[in-house]
């Protein structure tokens, strides 16, 4: 018999969106209303959810998970958002800290 770890509700990731950027970039820290947030710059405009979708995909790529594993939890019309990442992997929280706080932090 194989024991599997219990499924968690997912990891909440606070994000500060910078729409209309020249290029997509994931990294940096912003002290937002949901706590320390990861800055995600995307080229998509903040219109009709385009920036939110671009951020969802960029966040998935940066964390090494499928886009389907990243879902918006809070902030549909705000630059301050919270996403839920539901993916297996112990390295995701560490990767998030590295992206948000830099490689030198530990």
Provide DSSP, 17-67: EETT-SS-EEEEEEEETTEEEEEEE-SS-SSTTHHHHHHHHHHHHHHTS-G
pLDDT at 61 over 50: yes
pLDDT at 47 over 60: yes
Contact 87, 65 (CB under 8 A): yes
pLDDT at 42 over 90: yes
Percentage, residues of the chain above pLDDT 90: 81
Instruction: Round to whole Å and give the CA distance between 64 and 91.
Output: 10
Q: Of 53, 58, 100, 63, nearest to 85 (Cα)?
A: 63
pLDDT category of residue 32 using cuts at 50, 70 and 90:
very high
In CATH, the number for domain 11-101 is 3.30.1200.10
- Stated length of the chain: 106
Domain boundaries, the chain: 11-101
């Amino acid at each position: 018999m194989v024991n599997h770890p219990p499924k968690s509700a997912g990891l909440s990731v606070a994000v500060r969106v910078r729409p209309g950027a020249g290029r997509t970039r994931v990294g940096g820290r912003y002290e937002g209303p949901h706590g320390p947030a990861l800055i995600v710059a995307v080229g998509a405009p903040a219109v009709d959810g385009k920036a939110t979708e671009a951020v969802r995909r960029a966040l998935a790529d940066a964390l090494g998970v499928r886009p389907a594993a990243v879902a918006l939890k809070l902030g549909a019309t705000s630059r301050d958002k919270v996403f839920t990442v539901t993916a297996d992997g112990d390295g995701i929280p560490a990767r998030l800290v590295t992206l948000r706080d830099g490689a030198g932090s530990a």
